Structure 1
């Protein structure tokens, strides 16, 4: 663990779950913006954290980035399973989870969530347009056992979060440092490629 990190008690967890089917099946962490892949951008963000882990069931496309990688412990549960794997792999008391197709997450944006932690809080996320954003969120690593038990019911991430002491921040908390909420942007469709200036990886 890096005690000199900006967030010395937090692991950055990058979830590389989806296969990018709407983008032709590309590994979404290899999408690039301004010459850098989203994985390179998130790895740079990781320098602010004590540790970093990549959750990937198909790790081969990301081997060159040199990030410690784990697979889902409970298979076939989507993002809830990915968060569970990150909690289990954490070497710090807290995890900050992001998706591998989020190119614009910044240290300042992450800080808005991480500064909202408290002794009586298990998780922190942002509410945006009525939806909770569980892949731009902080979690106590000690939730791992109860989280794993919850997976038996195939829950949504929001449903899992509702069973813990979750602090939900209004989107204005993020707008203070990120007026266009770009940190929450993820690239799922061809329209998103155009909107955010994202380039597909070469085949």
Structure 2
């Protein structure tokens, strides 16, 4: 899937589906369903806004029917920083919006806050909520790819990685202004999350 005339033609929407949901009996979390649509399908509703779309998945089989350009981690076993790196390497645009495949409720308004915070002197824009940086609803400059990949050998946290670059950390209030309950940051990792957020397991 490739789109060229969206609101953000210089940005790739990268859906990060690095592994399996071990706490959810190993199901591909992107195929969890909310209101009749899988999480990946819900995220793809954002796709027309972007210049390109990319899926990062180390086990691409479950997503084959979506017709997405798919890549695996370049540096395995590095979690979210590794998934972001794979997207930076594979992107064909100057920026990447990285979104986790288990985030069903990402709001376009939250995306716009990130996009508007970019600038010539900025390499990455992330939300910071309760002292925690949110790596998988964040935008990154693809020029970071080489240095980012080299740094993965040290197993850095995302905060440590970002400290090396010109990162803009947006305060919680910046998100609450457009998403008062922070629903955009909800991710589904456990059986309890399924019940709490009305999410169902994919059909076997």
- What TM-score range do you get, normalising by the shorter chain? over 0.9
C-alpha displacement at 1:3, in angstroms? 3.9
C-alpha displacement at 1:145, in angstroms? 0.5
8 A contact 1:150–1:160 mirrored in 2: yes
C-alpha displacement at 1:158, in angstroms? 1.8
1:19 corresponds to:
20
- Runs of at least 5 residues in structure 1 that lack an aligned partner in the other structure: none
8 A contact 2:124–2:138 mirrored in 1: yes
Query: What do residues 88-114 of structure 1 show as CA deviations (whole Å, max 9, x unaligned)?
Result: 111110000010000111221111111
2:186 corresponds to:
185
8 A contact 1:48–1:107 mirrored in 2: no
Alignment of 1:135-150 (within 5 A): 135-150=136-151
Between the aligned partners of 2:159 and 2:120, the Cα distance in structure 1 is 21
Between the aligned partners of 1:118 and 1:105, the Cα distance in structure 2 is 22
1:80 corresponds to:
81
Please give the TM-score of this superposition, normalised by the length of structure 1: 0.97
Please give the TM-score of this superposition, normalised by the length of structure 2: 0.97
Between the aligned partners of 1:63 and 1:157, the Cα distance in structure 2 is 29
Query: What do residues 38-64 of structure 1 show as CA deviations (whole Å, max 9, x unaligned)?
Result: 011111211211101000010000001
8 A contact 1:132–1:158 mirrored in 2: yes
8 A contact 2:99–2:137 mirrored in 1: yes
Relative distance call for 1:145 and 1:171 in structure 2 (3 A) is same
Between the aligned partners of 1:76 and 1:191, the Cα distance in structure 2 is 26
1:157 corresponds to:
158
> How well do the aligned residues superpose, as a CA RMSD in angstroms?
1.0
1:118 corresponds to:
119
Between the aligned partners of 1:158 and 1:121, the Cα distance in structure 2 is 15
Count of matched residue pairs: 203
C-alpha displacement at 1:18, in angstroms? 3.0
Moved over 2 A (4+): none
8 A contact 2:33–2:200 mirrored in 1: yes
8 A contact 2:114–2:126 mirrored in 1: yes
Deviates more, 1:15-24 or 1:119-128: 15-24
Between the aligned partners of 1:93 and 1:202, the Cα distance in structure 2 is 37
- Residue 46 of structure 2 aligns to a residue in which SS? helix
- Residue 97 of structure 1 aligns to a residue in which SS? strand
Query: What do residues 30-83 of structure 1 show as CA deviations (whole Å, max 9, x unaligned)?
Result: 000000000111112112111010000100000011111001111121111111
Between the aligned partners of 2:48 and 2:62, the Cα distance in structure 1 is 21
- Runs of at least 5 residues in structure 2 that lack an aligned partner in the other structure: none
